Amino acid sequence: MIAPRTLRFSWLATVSLAVTMLVVTTSAQAVQYQARADFLRETLGSEKPPSAVVWMNDELRQIATEVLGHKPVTLRTRYWYNETRTVWILDEIGKEKPITLGIVIEGQAIKLLRVLEFRESRGWEISYPFFADQFEGIGLHRSGKLSGRIDGISGATLSVNAATRSARFALILDQYATRNTKARASAP
């Protein structure tokens, strides 16, 4: 038979652990995995690489609304670039708070996707390489959707969806950026 003192301790330990887990899991402290300047330095070799913007014209705004599920918040989106790649830093809402994602695109395919800052209390598993690595090499299908399948994470569906939407949007923006660059280069 278990001694009463042991039983009381067990209950106390169980309750304490439950409360701690509750506090930890429900407290929504933002976690910054990497500063933007560091991400730009790592992916483009410079803390202040050249940047340009893609303006939301009517066509792009419509596409953005369809892809993101909401109207784009800003009238333009900035990106950074070198000769071979573009780098996008996008904020997309998971459940309630924005997730900051850094996306590198090279040759119209994703070279790297990384969570730079995560602000929600759950779904942070998307910051792990096992999830983010799935995006490497993925481009846009003719239909406008991602060319590859992304496996979800149980309990992190909203974060997974936010990352997937951002990836798709970054690829579309990259196409527009490339188109604009070519137009500028060929202009008399």
Partner 1 sequence: MRRATPKPAPARRSHWTRRFHRLVGVASLVFLVLIAISGLLLNHADDLGLGNRRAASPLLLKVYGIESPPIVSSFSASGLTFASTPSALYANGRELLVTTAPLRGAVAGPGSVIVATAEEILVTTPDGMLIERFDPDISGPLLQLGASPSHFVLRTSASTYALDAEGMTVSELIRDDGDVAWSLPSDPSDEQVERIALAAIGSSLSWERVLADLHSGRILPSVGRYLADITALCLLYLSVTGAIMWFRLQRNGALDSPRQRSKAPKRAAGTGHARTRR
List residues near partner 1 by CB under 8 A.
35-37, 48, 51, 53, 73-78, 91, 100
- In whole angstroms, the minimum distance from the beta carbon of 103 to partner 1 comes to 16
- In whole angstroms, the minimum distance from the beta carbon of 77 to partner 1 comes to 8
Instruction: Find out whether 98 and 73 touch, Cβ atoms under 8 Å.
Output: no
Of 99 and 140, the one with the shorter C-beta distance to partner 1 is 99
Of 91 and 125, the one with the shorter C-beta distance to partner 1 is 91
Strand bridging mode 98-106 / 109-118: antiparallel
Of 100 and 134, the one with the shorter C-beta distance to partner 1 is 100
The helix or strand, by DSSP H or E, that contains position 32, with its residue range, turns out to be strand 31-32
User: Buried (b) or exposed (e) across 44-54, using 16+ Cβ within 10 A?
Assistant: beeeeeeeeeb
- In whole angstroms, the minimum distance from the beta carbon of 138 to partner 1 comes to 26
Under the phi-then-psi rule, with left for phi > 0, alpha for psi from -120 to 50, and beta for the rest, what region is 137?
left
- In whole angstroms, the minimum distance from the beta carbon of 37 to partner 1 comes to 5
Of 22 and 73, the one with the shorter C-beta distance to partner 1 is 73
